[in-house]
Structure 1
Amino acid sequence: MSDTTEHKQNAESAEADGANHYYSEQYLELQKEPVLYEWHIDHAQRAAWSSSLLMGGVCWLIALMVFINSDSQNPWPLIWVLLILGGWGVIFSRYLTDPNQLYHYRMTAKGIYYTQQDKIPEVAYNIIRGIGGLLIVGSIIAIGLVGPQALAGAGAFLAFKITNMKPRVRHYGCIFKDSGEISVFGKLCGMEIMETPYSWGEYALVFSKPEEYQRVLGDITQALPQYKVIEAASRKEFGY
């Protein structure tokens, strides 16, 4: 498939599903430029697992306290519920709240542009849509049992269903300018391009595969000779 054809199909798809797409002006401008090369990357967010384990750990801690302090002769049903909720919370947080990010980069002579979206399996969206549908039905049934007060809940879940729960795709671009900074972190094969002043400057967050890192970094620094290259000492300092 040609690059022009792919761009046309992407544009048509975005038009049909505009609520789930964001396009920057830089992306739209760079999309017209010839692509020198492109690559995909699957990037895990910083502290994704630790924050997810923290969410599950709250339930596990409560389960431990119940086990230690319970006056009941059989606290195990509650403990098992808390343990299962904790495990579900870890999975939910890691793969739905803090999922990996999928990037698709395209390098041009004028700049770099890319798409970013959450790596959430389609089956997860199907499950959520199904739960949303069941909750809508449950809310409508509740109207007959509870009264009009249930309409608010039904309306909320109906709105949730209408959104169709599709991944949001963000389209960014960075046009190479005259001056700025490039923060790099080799262990992550990451580069952060920032034009100065930051208030109105161009920006790009670039990750590459290890075998492509030197090529990408070389092309970027060659295109931006006036930019100051800063080596980040840690992932925390790099920020991602």
Structure 2
Amino acid sequence: MKILDKAQQIERLYAIPPVYEWELIVNPDHGRIKIAYASFGICIILAVVSFFWFQGNTGLIAAGMLIFLGSCGAPWGRFLIHADKRHYYAINQYGMYSTSEQIIPEIAYTIVRRSAWVGCAICVFAAIFIGPMAFVGAGGAALMSFAMTNFRSVPHKSQCLFDGYAKLDHIDGIVYELCTTNYHYGFDLMIPESKLTSIIEVIKQYNDIFEEEFVDLYKDSKFQAQPIILEIVR
């Protein structure tokens, strides 16, 4: 029998139809609204300070750039960076794999990219007519604008191959990690309570040894983003 290398095993994993699959829509951070308001407030405060700290046009441009940063950055963080996510998971006899992607309409990416080019134009104008001092206190606006010009959704894929041993770590509510002999760092999972028993039975079916461990990693963390399941698609 031919021995497959890791790349070939992963290719086989994706080629075989799943025996069990589930899909979730998740809010990745329950505090995302507060973060957006706080970010906008900080930018406004810095804009006021910059306006009075620098003299003339320099202060005006710096304040304007910070207001632009807050006006674009806060919605960008809330509706793009912390947007709802769609998670898909599948299990077959060779392992598990998942795909996660933010749920954002394409029009939102188009608006962000065009707004970023406007921000870039403002930064270039400031550098030409005001000088390098225009970027003092507002360099973040320039960096963010240039970074957002190619902003688009990128699906994230991951996989975990079965090797006879599996341990499911219960992290916090819906958050789990699956560890195998050759995958000690854990394969991240989100499992609704209604599907947990069925998923465990499928994992046991394809591994000789199965263990469970309850690990409270977030016990002492006050600011840990807690995901919330919004919908169980299947």
TM-score where L is the length of structure 2 = 0.59
1:127 CA drift (Å) = 1.9
1:40 CA drift (Å) = 1.4
Query: 1:86 & 1:61 partners in 2: Cα distance?
Result: 8
Query: 1:154 & 1:94 partners in 2: Cα distance?
Result: 20
1:193 is the counterpart of 2:174: no
Query: 1:36 & 1:216 partners in 2: Cα distance?
Result: 10
After superposition, give the CA deviation of every residue in 1:135-167 in whole Å (9 maximum; x if it has no partner): 3444565676468999xx999956742x3x211
> Contact (CA 8 Å) 2:94, 2:161: kept in 1 or not?
yes
1:123 CA drift (Å) = 3.4
Percent of pairs identical after alignment?
19
Query: 2:112 & 2:189 partners in 1: Cα distance?
Result: 31
Per the alignment, in what secondary structure is the counterpart of residue 31 of structure 2?
helix
Match for 2:163 among 156, 177, 186? 177
Match for 1:100 among 73, 76, 84? 84
The one-letter code sitting in structure 2 at the alignment partner of 1:117 is E
Query: 1:135 & 1:86 partners in 2: Cα distance?
Result: 12
Give aligned pairs, total: 188
Match of 2:57 in 1: none
Match for 1:212 among 195, 199, 212? 195
After superposition, give the CA deviation of every residue in 1:104-140 in whole Å (9 maximum; x if it has no partner): 1222111111112233343331221110222344456
Match of 1:53 in 2: 34
The one-letter code sitting in structure 2 at the alignment partner of 1:184 is H
TM-score where L is the length of structure 1 = 0.57
Query: 1:128 & 1:88 partners in 2: Cα distance?
Result: 8
Match of 2:206 in 1: 223
Query: 1:205 & 1:142 partners in 2: Cα distance?
Result: 45
After superposition, give the CA deviation of every residue in 1:65-90 in whole Å (9 maximum; x if it has no partner): xxxxxxxxxxxxxxxxxxxx989866
Segments of structure 2 that go 5 or more residues without pairing to the other structure are: 1-5, 46-68, 135-140, 227-234
The structure that is strand-richer by fraction is: 2
1:176 CA drift (Å) = 0.9
Match for 2:111 among 127, 143, 150? 127
Higher relative contact order, structure no. (Cα contacts within 8 Å, ≥ 6 residues apart): 2
Segments of structure 1 that go 5 or more residues without pairing to the other structure are: 1-23, 65-84
Question: In angstroms, what is the RMSD of aligned CA positions?
Answer: 4.5
> Contact (CA 8 Å) 1:173, 1:203: kept in 2 or not?
no
Q: List aligned pairs for 1:62-101, cutoff 5 A.
A: 91-101=75-85
